[in-house]
Chain A
């Protein structure tokens, strides 16, 4: 085992004990990146080679010199006997949707390819203030619009370290691939419909979507402002808790970052699950999706391996003292995607109007004497098909003649989805749950190019994660075993507002219960 394979909490401990230095940790991660990552994503990339197909390609921009300066500063602090911070010397990657001062901050789009952020996003600044070392910016779907990373304008797009012909999921696929491949123990991602939890499930890592407003969005390039949540990606629950300690909390720069006290997420981690009520819902063991040929909707059960992993988790938690509540109705789960198709597109269209070739970003090189023509060409050449789709759908469903039928209706359906959770978690209601235990995804990682281009089916990959975004409640995806193809299965815990500490505590108990499982010792293909 190399330093880069150790967990964040182990690295932080060994550093404080002066057994290792921050520079040694950094060099170990850079060596791993050199050996498994391959060429970074770029615009106008050449066709894939056989070697490319054996690499992870998590990065767009690696910033080794910046990282080295930070690591040396941490080592100097330790040598001087100063407190270097709780995450001192721990490397992390950042989804390239966050602004980091002086670095290219591209959103994986041609339209921002030349943009250098003039300030740093709050969650990144908090990680660095805690002593963590940023390694660079990792790839994502363009503007986060996708569930596979294939829509990135920066190719090659990331590949799943567990099986390199599979997608890592998305949109935080660069984040989860970098953590699964041992390039960094932590990554900062964002989750708007499942974009942390779905790729975490596909890549066999822990990914948490905090409560909406728990983590500041300042410096996050916005997609859907009422749904976007920054959150941690880690290889285990303790590391996710450590990262939550650093990034959570109110922020004067974000008026939606809630003024709610932040607990110490590590404090209750080992308290077990005795007495906690954990629910299972039949509505999370099936998916409903449209048949585009005949306009009907089809419902199918999830693959047996995925359901079995979730039920086994419930059995293990029950054996540790949790009370499992079967049959919790979440009847509006199936409407999460249709409502999301409307709400997220309206918000995306609004947020994307700012990219116009005037103040920053891409401007068409074609000469024109007409401002409107410059807008059209800059946006037409700068945006890929996914942003264009979202802008156009957002404008259509919010148009005066359609907004009642689509946008206002979707917002009311969102109320029903929230009510499902309110009922399940109501302390004086029939279910009184501390958490709902579900699968994270309807499938394990699919093959590259298998879904890309079909914007409807791709969106349904988020069916089991998007309800939490509508409702604003927190969720975490945990590695829950491997399927018959050796691909990771994700299990998900959802809880009431601001209950991240309880979800992490349950996750930690599950980790302990499965500590000796053989799948815990299997390494991803990229590390074989």
Chain B
């Protein structure tokens, strides 16, 4: 059985996912992905007629069981400096990141 996720597809996925893998890790991960796809293929044999809708949550939510949404109201946070202190690089309460590459859309 040939691999559905070829090295080319894998490389594209890694790029989209903003990941970096060393060659050994990449080989392991790609093999596991293809093995998982073999398990997933079992789904294709299941007869699904048009009446079977998708379920995004197992338990149905009704008007009674759905909690009311909170009021959309601005509230000051008690410790913004504590939040900023988690950032790897800050300057004058700004979070610092490397340059954002500019791309010209064609």
Contact = CB atoms under 8 A, between A and B. Distances in A.
Interface of A: 115-116, 118, 211-213, 226, 250-252, 254-260, 289-290, 292, 295, 297, 334-335, 337-339, 341-342, 349, 356-363, 368-377, 379-381, 383, 385, 388-389, 391-393, 395-397, 405-406, 408-416, 418, 453-456, 459, 469-473, 497
B59 to A, nearest CB: 4
B14 to A, nearest CB: 7
Contact of A455 (B1, B36, B65): B36
Contacts of B65: 213, 258-260
Given A341-B40, A416-B46, A357 B88 contact: yes
Interface string B73-89: 00000010011001111
B64 interface: yes
Interface residues of B, number: 57
A356 B89 CA distance: 13
B57 A255 contact: no
- Nearest 9 pairs between A and B by C-beta? A472-B58, A380-B20, A472-B59, A411-B54, A363-B88, A360-B86, A375-B18, A471-B58, A415-B55
A376 B18 contact: yes
B89 A363 contact: yes
A396 B19 CA distance: 14
Contacts of B97: 358, 371, 374
Contacts of A359: 86-87, 95
A300 to B, nearest CB: 16
Interface string B17-48: 11111000100110011011011111110101
Contact of B29 (A118, A254, A389): A389
Contacts of A412: 48, 52-55
A306 to B, nearest CB: 23
B40 to A, nearest CB: 5
B28 A116 contact: no
Nearest to A288: B42
Contacts of B91: none
Nearest to A290: B39
B53 A290 contact: no
B70 to A, nearest CB: 6
A459 B41 CA distance: 15
A129 to B, nearest CB: 19
Given A358-B97, A370-B98, A255 B54 contact: no
B69 interface: yes
Contact of B40 (A260, A342, A349, A411): A342
Given A226-B58, A371-B97, 12 more contacts: A258-B67, A259-B66, A259-B67, A341-B40, A358-B88, A370-B98, A374-B98, A376-B20, A388-B17, A389-B33, A392-B33, A455-B32
A251 B68 CA distance: 10
B101 to A, nearest CB: 6
B100 interface: yes
B29 A392 contact: yes
Nearest to B89: A363
Nearest to A377: B20
A417 to B, nearest CB: 8
A381 B101 CA distance: 22
A391 B13 CA distance: 9
B33 A396 contact: yes
A415 B53 contact: yes
Contacts of B59: 211-213, 258, 471-473, 497
Contacts of A357: 88
Contacts of A371: 97-101
Contact of B42 (A290, A360, A397): A290
A395 B52 contact: no
A139 to B, nearest CB: 22
A385 B28 contact: yes
B56 interface: yes
Contact of B61 (A258, A373, A406, A470): A258
A406 B20 contact: no
B105 interface: no
B79 A393 contact: no
A191 to B, nearest CB: 13
16 contacts: A118-B86, A260-B65, A289-B39, A290-B38, A335-B42, A335-B46, A338-B39, A361-B86, A362-B88, A381-B20, A392-B14, A392-B33, A395-B13, A454-B35, A455-B36, A469-B58
Given A341-B36, A341-B39, A397-B40, A372 B86 contact: no
Contacts of B100: 371
A397 B33 CA distance: 11
B89 A406 contact: no
A245 B19 CA distance: 42
A226 B83 contact: no
Contacts of A470: 55, 58
